[in-house]
Amino acid sequence: MTLNKRMAAEFIGTFWLVLGGCGSAVLAASLPAGIGLVGVALAFGLTVLTMAYAIGHISGCHLNPAVSLGLWVGRRFKGGDVVPYMIAQVLGAMAAAALLYVIASGKAGYLGGLAANGYGEGSPAGYGLAASLLTEVAMTFMFLLIILGSTDTRAPKGFAPLAIGLGLTLIHLISIPITNTSVNPARSTGPAILQGGLALHQLWLFWAAPLLGAGLAGLAYRSFRGAQED
């Protein structure tokens, strides 16, 4: 599969992740009969689950710069494709955030929120910088271990999308109150650029922490496999 086709798949997949995940938070979470935190967590997991089956055989269904980096560090992805994948993922997230903004603006009283990530004043429950940084590093580390382990050639076949989707759901259940859950720099960038202000000012953390957690997970999984198996 050509790089351009794989980048297109990553664009579409990341578009769906942001539209489905952030869209559920913006449009459906707080209604009187809304889906709430659990529903939003499930929505993010379902976006990855559905795209894994739809485009996993095309691009690998990374949908996340941290995943692309972690797979490269874990020797499961070509280094030359990391930056092109990241570009496609960020553009997909931005396109989804723009569409979500247009849809949400159709309701009177909309204040411009797009489920952006944040810490301190930007945290849903007021968690500070240190707690948010540690959470994002730890959650991304575990997410990459789930991905690397479930897609290993020795793992049961056909179940990786379920493990990854459910893993992302669990991560959101844990960390939505802390940072609104990123573990994905593209997911953070799209809403932050459209929302601006504090979300954009705090965006650095939601690149630094997921990339660090992903890199550590890639190194850890390489140590599990051993040099002869890489």
Q: What are the distances in angstroms from CA 132 to CA 86, 89, 146, 179, 220? A: 23, 23, 21, 6, 22
Given this model, what pLDDT does residue 226 score?
Answer: 66
Other Cβ atoms less than 10 A from the Cβ of 31: the count is 9
pTM: 0.95
How does pLDDT run across 199-230, given as a tens digit for each residue? 999 999 999 999 999 999 999 999 987 654 55
On the question of pLDDT at 77 being above 60, the answer is yes
pLDDT band at 160; cut points 50, 70, 90: very high
Domain span holding position 12? 3-229
| Residue showing tokens 């979300």 | 199
pLDDT band at 99; cut points 50, 70, 90: very high
**Position with higher pLDDT, 32 vs 67:** 67
Amino acid at 8: A
On the question of pLDDT at 61 being above 70, the answer is yes
SS3 (DSSP) at 15: helix
Given this model, what pLDDT does residue 30 score?
Answer: 85
Question: Quick one: tokens of 214?
Answer: 């992903």
Mean of the per-residue pLDDT values of the chain: 96
183's enclosing H/E stretch is none
pLDDT band at 15; cut points 50, 70, 90: very high
Question: Quick one: tokens of 186?
Answer: 């593209």
Given this model, what pLDDT does residue 227 score?
Answer: 52
Q: What is the CA radius of gyration of the chain?
A: 17
On the question of pLDDT at 53 being above 60, the answer is yes
Given this model, what pLDDT does residue 92 score?
Answer: 98
Closest CA to 210 of 193, 188, 185, 176: 185
Please report, for the domain that includes residue 213, its CATH number: 1.20.1080.10
Distance between CA atoms of 172 and 49, rounded to whole angstroms?
Answer: 14
Given this model, what pLDDT does residue 141 score?
Answer: 98
How does pLDDT run across 166-188, given as a tens digit for each residue? 999 999 999 999 999 999 999 99
Segment 74-97 mean pLDDT: 97
Contact 48, 61 (CB under 8 A): yes
Segment 136-160 mean pLDDT: 95
Given this model, what pLDDT does residue 109 score?
Answer: 87
Given this model, what pLDDT does residue 230 score?
Answer: 52
Given this model, what pLDDT does residue 78 score?
Answer: 96
Length of the chain counted residue by residue: 230
Given this model, what pLDDT does residue 213 score?
Answer: 98
Total number of domains in the chain: 1
Who contacts 35 (Cβ-Cβ below 8 Å, separation ≥6)? Answer: 24, 28, 29, 42, 43
Contact 170, 48 (CB under 8 A): no
221's enclosing H/E stretch is helix 205-225
Segment 54-65 mean pLDDT: 97
